[in-house]
Structure formats: structure tokens, C-alpha cells
């Protein structure tokens, strides 16, 4: 099996690859995540995951790169990572009592040959209404500060989520079933790594 590289500094993505026992190495790099305004969320995550994969590929001679990007969108407006507590509160207040969407783009890039495969997953998340004091307590934990939409479904924010439609792992940051299907197209059977 070729070496697999996860082009991400996200601890959640690392944990998910570990959970499915996929041997991999971490490649972290900074990429420009600036995009023109008005790009739909699905296109944003595809563009940024491709950008990350290409940046990682420049550092390698051989292997398969996995790159991902996740955004939270409310009425097609993307909510990124909050820059401060006030922005986190604003985002969380906007999400209360509504359904929103989480999009994750995945790009696989095989070197040599630069074969690229990109796809995305969409999941709907429904949050209950929560008071400002409850949201402030959540923000004070620090958990929202490195997460798109200012919450982590796998953490303390689980108390706010009343339902999802679609892939749970997509909301965490890496749609595992979609990734496994994409890896098969590159000749990698993840379950074969279990033996």
C-alpha cells in the first residue's frame, strides 16, 4: 500500500483516521483560504480541499494525499471559525432553533501521476434554542474557537443538537464512508488494514 498523508492539522480528522485504523502520516501546511465572495458552500470546500492537496503534493515524491475542508452554512451563508468570543456568540445565536448545513470537501491526490479525485458531503444539523447565558458558558470553555460555525458536535455542543440528517462524521470534519469509497478508487481497501 502506498504511503498515505493527511494534509491537515485537525486533531479530529487525525482521530477519525485512527478510528478506522488507516495508517497515515500528518502533513501540515498553511494555504491561502481566500476565495471570491458568493461561492456556494459545496464549491468552497471542494476548492479549498484541492488547494490543500496540491500544496501537500509539492512536498512529496510518492504517496496519496488526503485533504479536507469543512464549513457550516446557514441559508447559504458560510460561518467560518470565530475570531473571538463575540463572533462565536453571534454565530451560535444565529444557529439556535434552526436547521443548518455542514459541507465537507475531500480531495485525494496520488503521486506520481497527480491523479485527483474530489467530492463533498452535506449534512443537515438541527439545533434547539438555548439562552444567551447557556451559550456564553459554552463559549467560555474555549471549545468553539477553532471550529467552523463555533461548535463541535462531538464535544460539549452535543447538548444543543436535536437531530441530524446525513453523515455524523461529516459534521465532525471528515465524512468517513465517503472517504473509504474514494480510497477504493485508488485501489485502497481500508478494511484490509484491520488484519
C-alpha radius of gyration, the chain, whole number: 17
Catalytic position from the list 32, 69, 75, 146: 69
Range of the domain at 52: 4-194
| Tens-place pLDDT, residues 30-59 | 888 888 888 999 999 999 999 999 999 999
pLDDT at 124: 98
* Total domains present in the chain: 1
Q: Does the pLDDT at position 193 exceed 90? A: no
Q: How many CB atoms lie within 10 A of CB 36?
A: 7
pLDDT per position as a tens digit, 51-90: 999 999 999 999 999 999 999 999 989 998 999 999 999 9
Provide the pLDDT confidence category of residue 166 given band limits of 50, 70 and 90: very high
Strand 99-111 and strand 63-74: pairing? antiparallel
Q: Residue 22's pLDDT is what?
A: 94
Residue 29 has pLDDT above 90, yes or no: no
Q: Quick one: pLDDT at residue 9?
A: 85
Over residues 100-155, the pLDDT tens digits come to 999 999 999 999 988 999 999 999 999 999 999 999 999 999 999 989 999 999 99
> What CA–CA distance (Å, rounded) separates 186 from 3?
12
* 74-83, long-range: CB < 8 A, 24+ apart: 74/98, 74/100, 74/101, 76/40, 76/41, 78/41, 78/44, 79/148, 79/149, 79/150, 80/148, 81/145, 81/146, 81/147, 81/148, 81/150, 82/144, 82/145, 82/150
pLDDT digits (tens, 9 = 90+) for 133-142: 999 999 999 9
Catalytic, 69? Answer yes
CATH number of the domain bearing residue 10: 3.90.950.10
Amino acid at each position: 500500500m502506498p504511503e498515505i498523508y493527511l494534509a491537515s492539522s485537525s486533531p479530529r480528522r487525525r482521530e477519525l483516521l485512527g478510528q478506522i485504523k488507516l495508517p497515515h502520516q500528518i502533513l501540515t501546511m498553511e494555504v491561502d483560504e481566500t476565495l471570491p465572495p458568493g461561492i456556494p458552500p459545496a464549491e468552497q470546500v471542494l476548492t479549498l480541499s484541492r488547494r490543500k492537496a496540491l500544496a501537500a503534493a509539492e512536498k512529496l515524491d510518492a504517496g496519496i494525499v488526503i485533504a479536507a475542508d469543512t464549513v457550516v452554512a446557514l441559508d447559504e451563508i458560510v460561518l467560518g471559525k470565530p475570531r473571538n468570543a463575540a463572533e462565536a456568540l453571534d454565530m451560535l445565536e444565529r444557529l439556535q432553533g434552526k436547521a443548518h448545513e455542514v459541507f465537507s470537501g475531500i480531495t485525494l491526490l496520488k503521486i506520481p501521476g497527480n491523479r485527483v479525485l474530489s467530492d463533498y458531503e452535506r449534512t443537515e444539523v438541527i439545533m434547539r434554542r438555548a439562552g444567551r447565558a447557556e451559550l456564553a458558558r459554552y463559549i467560555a470553555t474555549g471549545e468553539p474557537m477553532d471550529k467552523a460555525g463555533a461548535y463541535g458536535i462531538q464535544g460539549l455542543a452535543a447538548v444543543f443538537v436535536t437531530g441530524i440528517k446525513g453523515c455524523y462524521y461529516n459534521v465532525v470534519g471528515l465524512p468517513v464512508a465517503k472517504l473509504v469509497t474514494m480510497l477504493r478508487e485508488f485501489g485502497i481497501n481500508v478494511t484490509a488494514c484491520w488484519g
